[in-house]
Structure 1
Amino acid sequence: MKIIRPLIASFVLLTAVTGVVYPLVVTGVGKVAFSHQVNGSLIEKDGKVLGSTLIGQHFSDPKHFWGRPSGAGTFEYNGLASGGSNQGPTNPALKAAIEDRIKALHDADPENTAAIPVDLVTASGSGLDPEISPAAANYQLQRVAKARGLKTEQVRDLIAQHTQEPQLGLFGEARVNVLELNLALDQLH
């Protein structure tokens, strides 16, 4: 009993500190210092949540930029089903999916003969990417400008304004958040 009592006391104390106190402190600091991120990086307009800058959304209207395809199961961009398809490059289902995506892009903009950026036809590892490459945004530029009756320079400038450079100039690649870009487009009208 001499040994067990200090062990139980240590266990209870460490459980309280690491399981209750520490998480509450970290959550409190996060809420104060990084409230936007802690609350899901949500984009709101007139008190209504439009989406998150962290999770992609499905856009199929020619007036909007389309994001990277979702690999998140039956319900696209479902955070609960996050994950890639795990289909290898020789899988016929992956090949068929890519061909369908290429056809959809050509059907939406038959005049566009440019090479299609890979991020417009392949899903990411998470299946939830909210961003596309500047090349993917520029590939869609003519379709979006024509569908909205805008000058291509207006849309090109909007893409440039919403292009995020690599973090610290070193990490990652340049990217464009599709939801933010589409919301900026919607505000032009």
Structure 2
Amino acid sequence: MFQAIRLTLILWLLTAIIYPLVILTVGQFVFPNEANGSIMQNVQGEQIGSALIGQQFTSDRYFRSRPSTIEYSQGKDAQKTGISGASNLAPGNPALIKRISEEITRLKDEGIQPSADLVYASGSGLDPHISVKAAREQLERVARARDLRADEVLPFINRFTEGKFLGIFGEPGVNVLKLNYALDLDEFNRQQTR
């Protein structure tokens, strides 16, 4: 009996206290940005979101993320939601078909060729990336809204294109929050030099 209690306490100490503290310490020293949520701040020092979580952008001045079946966490309410998930609607579900049809129509009205990552939500609903193709499809709209030429915006897409995970898994993707923030920062800097 005492041996079982002692073994339980030792295992509890190892798995509930020592192991988490070691992982926390290693994370803070090896990956401090990621361990603290990869929070990005604007030029005023205000938190604008996490580079690891998709954000919702609706203005034509911004590249749009993948659609989400949940509302992305933003701003002051970001700490309150913290949810992720898919809609779990079957492919033949009328609500899903309607949402996808409306999204395709909206994209075509904007002159954007619909692609899978601009029409379908990700499994978690929080994917922060879009494909390079999806970013380039939005290039003209964003450049026009920002009163820039497409060749002035294209280097930003290239700069924020992240390669395959470990060089072999997945496809290259563009981090939408980083891309949009860099465009805002560039605009801010140009206004300061005028």
Corresponding residue to 1:90 among 89, 92, 114: 92
Q: CA separation in 1, counterparts of 2:150 and 2:33?
A: 33
Relative to the length of structure 1, the TM-score reads 0.89
User: How much identity, in percent, do the aligned residues show?
Assistant: 45
* 2:106 matches 1:104: yes
Q: How many residues align?
A: 179
**Is contact 2:107–2:113 with CA below 8 Å preserved after alignment?**
no
Look up the SS of the partner of 2:82 in the other structure: helix
1:30 is matched with: 27
Corresponding residue to 2:72 among 50, 70, 77: 77
Task: Please tell me the root mean square deviation across aligned C-alpha atoms, in Å.
Answer: 1.5
Look up the SS of the partner of 1:87 in the other structure: coil
Query: Residues 1-189 of structure 1: matches in 2 within 5 Å?
Result: 4-45=1-42, 46-72=44-70, 76-78=71-73, 80-107=82-109, 109=110, 112=111, 115-189=113-187
Look up the SS of the partner of 2:174 in the other structure: strand
**1:40 deviation in Å?**
0.6
For residue 56 of structure 2, what is the amino acid of its counterpart?
H
Relative to the length of structure 2, the TM-score reads 0.87
Structure 2 stretches of 5 or more lacking a match? Answer: 74-80, 188-194
For residue 92 of structure 1, what is the amino acid of its counterpart?
P
Look up the SS of the partner of 2:47 in the other structure: strand
* Cα displacement string for residues 67-108 of structure 1 (whole angstroms, at most 9, x for unaligned residues): 000112xxx11463311111122111111001121232234x
Task: Say which is worse superposed, 134-143 or 154-163, in terms of deviation.
Answer: 154-163
Structure 1 stretches of 5 or more lacking a match? Answer: none
Larger radius of gyration: 1
Look up the SS of the partner of 1:82 in the other structure: coil
Runs of at least 4 residues off by over 6 Å: none
Q: CA separation in 2, counterparts of 1:22 and 1:166?
A: 30
Q: CA separation in 1, counterparts of 2:93 and 2:122?
A: 16
For residue 103 of structure 1, what is the amino acid of its counterpart?
T
